[in-house]
């Protein structure tokens, strides 16, 4: 309790100092103060919850586990489309499905990439997805699942799109060259459009059908950068594309792949400890290894509190 009070004093003092030094006097203080109090109370809440869990029979932990699993499953997630079929070039239907996935994910924070048996995704397609996610700001998190021991949709880990993009670009020089070319052409196209130039007449743009927004004359394709990247990647696809198996995913992303999870089948004490003590930004909720959803630490604590309250009625 003393630590919580000390943290509160420090945070309030820091906020007052920042308002003066950084001229935050116009910032609405109500939400900031609410956040400070929430941060202060969080350790107390965690201690209370762990105390309840340690009490044994006083709470039906099984009900809490089921409630949290159900809450995670109720989140709306967009499943990103896999490769269409082997030997299809990335500039055709395969990339179109990736970009359609980006279009659908425009309001979603999380997307799920199912690697299935290791033949569902190419690195080049994943790069397009991540480049678009970084540029558009959505989705913010990509979750990977795969088939393990003949069991589909097993949780593997999650990472932010910018981390995945950087790892892919760093692992393949051809990807880096294609990315730089696509971004340069896209910037030039947008500048020409702003100046009123007919971009479709530019000799530098080879795939002109992707320049304008489909069906809307005079508007640039909002996914122009991703279409340009797909076009640039297609030139070297036979040499540089590679399917993403579980082992390949770990080779590429292990330094940035977060693997924290809490499973409904975990023993009660272990489940409670993992659910409330995770230091990761997000915690995966699984059921016998099968991915159910991804929740922030605050969301996990909130759902556990609600479930505990309902078991007391």
State pLDDT tens for residues 77-111. Answer: 666 666 544 334 444 445 677 777 777 777 788 88
CA distance 223 to 210: 9
- For the segment 251-274, the average pLDDT, to the nearest whole number, is 91
pLDDT band at residue 17, thresholds of 50, 70 and 90? low
22-26, 46-50, 221-225, 247-251: which is most confident: 247-251
pLDDT digits (tens, 9 = 90+) for 110-129: 888 999 999 888 899 899 99
Smallest CA-to-CA distance from 236 within 313, 182, 303 is with: 182
pLDDT band at residue 74, thresholds of 50, 70 and 90? low
CB neighbour class for 231 (10 Å; exposed up to 12, middle 13-18, buried from 19):
buried
CA distance 135 to 270: 39
- For the segment 246-255, the average pLDDT, to the nearest whole number, is 96
* Residue 99: per-residue pLDDT: 76
Task: Sort residue 236 into left (φ over 0), alpha (ψ -120 to 50) or beta.
Answer: alpha
Partners of residue 263 on adjacent β-strands: 286
The model carries a pTM of: 0.74
CA distance 142 to 213: 27
Residue 258 main-chain phi, psi, to 5 deg: -90, 135
pLDDT band at residue 35, thresholds of 50, 70 and 90? low
- For the segment 182-198, the average pLDDT, to the nearest whole number, is 80
Q: Tell me what the pLDDT averaged over the chain comes to.
A: 75
* Residue 142: per-residue pLDDT: 92
Smallest CA-to-CA distance from 53 within 312, 262, 308, 310 is with: 308
Contact status, residue 102 vs residue 136, Cβ threshold 8 Å: yes
pLDDT digits (tens, 9 = 90+) for 193-214: 777 766 655 555 555 555 654 5
Higher pLDDT, 97 or 16: 97
CA distance 233 to 141: 24
Smallest CA-to-CA distance from 277 within 300, 293, 257, 259 is with: 300
CA distance 300 to 305: 9
């Amino acid at each position: 309790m003393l630590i919580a009070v000390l943290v509160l004093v420090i945070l309030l003092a820091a906020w007052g100092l920042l308002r003066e030094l950084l001229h935050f006097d116009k910032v609405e203080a109500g939400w900031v103060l609410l956040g400070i109090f929430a941060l202060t109370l969080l350790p107390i809440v965690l201690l209370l919850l762990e105390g309840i869990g340690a009490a044994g029979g006083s709470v039906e932990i099984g009900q809490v586990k089921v409630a949290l699993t159900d809450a995670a499953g109720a989140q709306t997630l967009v499943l990103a489309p896999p490769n269409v079929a082997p030997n299809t070039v990335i500039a055709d239907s395969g990339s179109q499905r990736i970009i359609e996935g980006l279009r659908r994910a425009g309001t979603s924070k999380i997307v799920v990439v199912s690697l299935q048996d290791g033949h569902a995704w190419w690195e080049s397609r994943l790069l397009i997805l991540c480049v678009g996610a970084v540029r558009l700001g959505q989705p913010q998190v990509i979750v990977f699942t795969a088939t393990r021991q003949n069991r589909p949709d097993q949780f593997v880990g999650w990472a932010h799109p910018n981390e995945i993009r950087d790892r892919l670009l760093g692992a393949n020089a051809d990807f880096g060259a294609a990315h730089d070319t696509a971004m340069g052409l896209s910037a030039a196209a947008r500048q020409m459009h702003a100046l009123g130039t007919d971009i479709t007449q530019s000799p530098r743009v080879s795939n002109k059908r992707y320049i304008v927004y489909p069906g809307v004359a005079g508007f640039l394709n909002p996914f122009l950068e991703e279409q340009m990247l797909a076009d640039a990647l297609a030139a070297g696809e036979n040499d540089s594309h590679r399917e993403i198996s579980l082992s390949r995913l770990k080779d590429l992303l292990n330094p940035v792949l977060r693997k924290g999870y809490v499973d409904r089948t975990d023993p009660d004490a272990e489940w409670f400890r993992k659910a409330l003590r995770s230091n990761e930004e997000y915690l995966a909720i699984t059921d016998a290894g099968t991915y159910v959803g991804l929740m922030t630490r605050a969301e996990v604590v909130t759902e556990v509190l609600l479930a505990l309250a309902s078991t007391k009625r």
